[in-house]
Amino acid sequence: MATKTFDAVVIGAGPGGYVAAIRLAQLGKKTALVDREELGGVCVNWGCIPSKALIAAANLVDDIRKAGARGILVEPARVDVNKLREFKDAVVQKMVGGVGFLEKGNGVEVIRGTARFVSAQALEVEGAGEKTRLEAPAFIVATGARPIEIPGFPMDGKQVWSAREAVDLPEIPKRLVCIGGGIIGMELGTVYAKLGSDVTFLEALPQVLTGIDPEAVRLVLRSLKERGTKVHVNAKALGYEARGEELLVKAEVEGKPLEIPCDRILVAVGFRPSVEGLGLEPLGVKLTPRGFIEVNPSYRTSAPSIYAIGDIAGPPLLAHKASKEGEIAAEAIAGKKSVRDWVALPSGIFTDPEIAVVGLSEEEARKAGHDPIVGKFSFGALGRAVAIAHGEGFVKVVGDRSTKLLLGATLCGPEASDLVAEAALALEMGAYLEDVALTIHAHPTLPEAFMEACKAALGEAIHALNRAERPRRAGAGAPASA
C-alpha cells in the first residue's frame, strides 16, 4: 500500500470540502482532497446548481405562457425533456470542471476513492482497486448528508424518486406526488408543476415550509393553486402500490384516508448526516442525538486532529454555510484565530414567488428580548416589479423599537434570493433602519423595496401609506406594522 503525507486532508469535495481544500492550500498547507464521486458534491452535481437550472427553465416556460398579457404572442410553449436535461448536465459539467481547475491551480491533490480512518492521524482511501494510506496531522470531514427514506416508500429511482432522480429529469410525469413540503420538495414540485405535471403535495406538519413567515407561504400556496396543484397538510403518507403502470399512494389527511393515483412519487422529507463507514467511533468523535458531529466554534471535533464542516456538522443544511465553515476550519488548522462569528445566515427558497430570509423574525426578535418594530413594502407598489409583471410579494423588515437596529428581513417576491444579500450585509455591519432608509437606491430597481420597508418601519415610507401603530396593551410589546 502506497503512503502519502500531507499537512491536511479533506474528505468530501462538496461546497464545504472543496472550499476548505483551496483555503488550506492558500495558507501554505500541502493538501489532499478525497471524494469517491464527482467534485462539487451534492450541491454541484444534483442539488443547488442543477435544480436552479431546472427552476430557471421552468420559470421561462411559465413566463412564455403568460407573455400574451404583455402583447407578446407566441406558440404554446413545449418542453423537449432531452434538450433540457442536456442543458442542465452541461451546466453541472462546467461547474465540476471549474472546481477541478481551482483545486489544481491551488496545488491541491485530488484523490478518488472511499476514505476510512485507521487512526487519528491516518486514513485509507480505496478506489480503482487500490488502497492508499494518507497521513496528516489534521483532517476535515465534509461528507455531507443523504436523503432520508421513509417506510412504505423505498426509493428505487424509477417509481419512487429522491431529489437526485428528480433533478436528473428522467421524464415529466403526468401526475406526481411529492411527499414533503419543505424547501426541496416545494422547489422541485413547483418545477414539475410548471413543466406540465399534475402535482400533489403531502406534508406531515400543519404548514408547508415550516418556520417561514406564514404570509410568504400563503403567496406560494396561492401560486400553486392557480396551477391546479393540490397541497395537503397534516398528511401522513402510509405507502403505495403499483397497479399496472399506475401508482396509488395511500395517505391519511387530517385523520381521514386518502388515495392518490399518480405516475411517479418524489420523497423529499429531509437529509441525514453521512457518517457511516468513516471509522470515527474508535477515535472518540462525539455525535449529537440526531447523528451530526459535535464541533466547537472552530469546527474541531472531540478528536483534536479532526474537524467537521457542512451538513455533517449540523443544520441548517446550506451550501454557503458549509463553504464558510470550510474557510474557518482551514484557517484554524493553519493557526489563525478563526471561529464561527457571523451575525446572520441568509437562506433562499426558489419557489414561486421566491422567499429569502435573514436574521430574526418578529417572533424571534421578541423571544430574544427585543420590542420589535416591523416595516413592510409590497412589490405591487414598486415600479420595476410591476414593469416586469412580477408585482407579487413583499419585503418585511424587523427592527428594535428603542434603538432602531435592524434585526432581520423576510423577502417574498421576484429575485428575493438575490435581494437578500443587501439585508445580510446590513445585519453583518450592524446597520440601523435609518442607515438603509438614507441610502439612495437606484431607480427603478427591485432593491428599492428593502429601502422602502425600512422607511416604513420608521413611519417614513414614501411610496406606501404610513399606518398608525396599533395601541399597545399595558405591559405588552405589541408589534408595529406598516
CATH code, domain with 227: 3.50.50.60
Rounded-to-integer distance, Cα 6 and Cα 397, Å = 48
Evaluate whether residue 479 is within a structural domain.
no
Domain membership of residue 476 (yes or no) is no
What's residue 476's pLDDT? 40
| Residues shown for the chain | 482
CATH number at residue 367: 3.30.390.30
Q: How far is CA 327 from the centre of its chain?
A: 19
Range of the domain at 355: 347-457
Q: For residue 470, what pLDDT is reported?
A: 56
Q: Is residue 89, in this structure, part of any structural domain at all?
A: yes
pLDDT in tens, 367-376: 999 999 999 9
Interval 259-268: pLDDT, tens: 999 999 999 9
Task: Tell me: do 135 and 231 sit in the same domain.
Answer: no
Distances (CA, A) of 215 to 196, 211, 224, 353, 393: 27, 11, 15, 12, 9
Q: Cα 352–356–359 angle (5° rounding)?
A: 160
Question: pLDDT confidence of 469, banded at 50, 70, 90?
Answer: low
Angstrom distances, CA of residue 166 to CA of 84, 196, 223, 315: 13, 14, 21, 23
What are the tens digits of pLDDT across the range 285-343?
A: 999 999 999 999 999 999 999 999 999 999 999 999 999 999 999 999 999 999 999 99
Of 220, 200, 224, the C-alpha closest to 210 is: 220
358 within domain boundaries: yes
Strands across the sheet containing 2-5: 2-5, 130-135, 122-127, 114-119
Whether residues 101 and 209 share a domain: the answer is no
Q: Residue 175: beta bridge partners?
A: 198
Closest CA to 172 of 148, 152, 150, 191: 191
Residue type, 137: P
Return the percentage of the chain with pLDDT > 70, whole number: 97
- The answer to whether residue 259 is domain-embedded is yes
Q: For residue 82, what are the contacts with CB-CB under 8 A and spacing of at least 6? A: none
Query: Does the pLDDT at position 63 exceed 60?
Result: yes
Angle at 382 between CA 380 and CA 384, to 5 degrees: 115
Q: Answer yes or no: is 480 within a domain.
A: no
Residues 173 and 315 occupy one common structural domain: no
Pairing of strands 109-112, 372-378: unpaired
Question: For residue 482, what pLDDT is reported?
Answer: 32
pLDDT of 481 over the 50 cut: no
Per-residue pLDDT at 129: 87
Would you say residue 151 lies in a domain? no
Kindly report the average pLDDT of the chain as a whole number: 95
Residues 397 and 254 in one domain: no
Please check the confidence at residue 203 and state whether its pLDDT lies above 60: yes
Helix axes 81-105, 17-26, angle to 10 degrees: 30
Q: Which amino acid, one-letter code, is at 186? A: M
Question: Are 394 and 441 within one domain?
Answer: yes
Distance of CA 124 to the CA centre of its chain: 32
Confidence of residue 139 (pLDDT cuts 50, 70, 90): very high
For residue 62, the Cα-to-chain-centroid distance in whole angstroms is: 23
Give yes or no: residues 356 and 453 share one domain: yes
- Per-residue pLDDT for 479 more than 90? no
Return contacts of 67-71, CB within 8 angstroms, 24+ apart.
Answer: 69/389, 70/389
**What's the CA gap between 448 and 463, in Å, rounded?**
10
Q: Which residues contact 393 (CB under 8 A, 6 or more apart)?
A: 216, 219, 353, 378, 379, 385, 411, 412, 413, 414, 416
Regarding whether 27 and 130 lie in a shared domain, the answer is: yes
Q: Which residues are catalytic?
A: 443
Give the span between the Cα atoms of 227 and 199, in whole angstroms.
Answer: 9
407 three-class SS: strand
Rounded to an integer, what distance in angstroms lies between the CA atom of residue 171 and that of residue 174? 9
- Assess whether 380 and 233 both reside in one domain: no
* Residues 387 and 446 occupy one common structural domain: yes
d(CA 292, CA 132) in angstroms, rounded, equals 27
> How many angstroms separate the CA atoms of 450 and 379, rounded?
10
Taking residues 117-137, report their average pLDDT: 96
Residues whose CB is less than 8 angstroms from the CB of residue 309 and which lie 6 or more positions away in sequence, other chains included: 16, 17, 20, 140, 141, 142, 295, 299, 322, 325, 326, 328, 329
Total number of domains constituting the chain: 3
Q: Is the pLDDT of residue 24 over 70?
A: yes
> Is 82 part of any domain?
yes
Query: Which pLDDT value is given to residue 464?
Result: 93
Q: At residue 95, does pLDDT exceed 80? A: yes
pLDDT value of residue 128: 86
